[in-house]
Amino acid sequence: MEKVKLNNGIEMPILGYGVYQVTPEECERCVSDAISVGYRSIDTAQAYHNEEGVGNAISKCGVPREELFITTKVWISNAGYDKAKASIDESLRKLQSDYVDLLLIHQPFGDYYGTYRAMEEAYKAGKIRAIGVSNFYPDRFVDLAEFCEITPAVNQVETHVFNQQAKLQEVMKEYGTRIMSWGPFAEGRNDFFTNSTLQEIGKEYGKSVAQVALRYLIQRDIIVIPKSTHKERMAENFNVFDFTLSPEDMSAIASLDNAETLFFSHYDPEMVKWLINYGK
């Protein structure tokens, strides 16, 4: 497993397992399967309603806690210093752990400055090993990064071959902040799994479209957290460290970038309203 060093010096696996849209009922089994395959980084969130499943899996898996890297996120309904502070302790309880390795602000809405202060406090208290943000576009990212005490270690954003976040990555390099990809397979949109460029490159290496796409992001130093509920697919996604894409292949995949979201925009007022009301 390749690791990246975050801006506070701690190391994080560049490949992890994400549990977005994994039901609470399935989550414990899926995380247990992922750990048995070899994953050591698990990404969850308060809004996924499956932190308990992650906690059950990591408490039963037999792998020492210090060998695991657990990420969770504070949702909008818990925004603000007091609510965020309480929600961090609640997440720790559900995860059955004294600490989380990475805590992110899930969305840049509500009193996220208050949320970040609570996270900075928890970081200093040893409850969190690294803090960061999620879904922060360059403008909001810079605004927060310039006015906080602890620079975000990670920004988790939609990142895949059709929306490669090249501009954001350049902005974040100034702050030593890593991109963490959600949706590395674009959730199959834009005919992702039948893309001819990815298929042809995959044939060169005896790899699948998914493996090529993950490898591309990894070679750009982007953290990836592919999700699957099938153990054989988890293993396939994990098997991306035995080949290296050539500069020509990297260039061909770079040309697929449309630099546009395939999901939602934070500049859309109706979408912002929907996110703010989600889970209320």
pLDDT tens-digit readout, 50-104: 999 999 999 999 999 999 999 999 999 999 999 999 999 999 999 999 999 999 9
Residue 1: pLDDT band (50, 70, 90) is: confident
Q: Residues 6, 14: contact at Cβ < 8 Å?
A: no
At residue 231, the 3 state secondary structure works out as: helix
Residue 189 lies in a domain: yes
CA distances from 195 to 145, 190, 217 (A): 37, 8, 16
pLDDT of residue 192: 97
| Residues contributing to the annotated binding site for substrate | 106
Phi, psi of 181 (to 5 degrees): -85, 125
How far is the C-alpha of 184 from the C-alpha of 71, rounded, in Å? 17
Residue 204 lies in a domain: yes
Phi, psi of 143 (to 5 degrees): -60, -45
Q: In the chain, pLDDT over 90 holds for what percent of residues? A: 98
Burial label, 62 (beta-carbon count in 10 A; 0-12, 13-18, 19+): exposed
| Residues contributing to the annotated binding site | 106
Q: In the chain, pLDDT over 70 holds for what percent of residues? A: 99
At residue 15, the 3 state secondary structure works out as: strand
Residue 222 lies in a domain: yes
Residue 36 lies in a domain: yes
How far is the C-alpha of 36 from the C-alpha of 238, rounded, in Å? 11
Residue 42: pLDDT band (50, 70, 90) is: very high
Structural domain including 17 reads 1-275
User: 29: domain CATH number?
Assistant: 3.20.20.100
pLDDT of residue 75: 97
Pair of tokens at residue 130: 């690294």
Number of separate domains in the chain: 1
Residues assigned a catalytic role: 48
Residue 280 lies in a domain: no
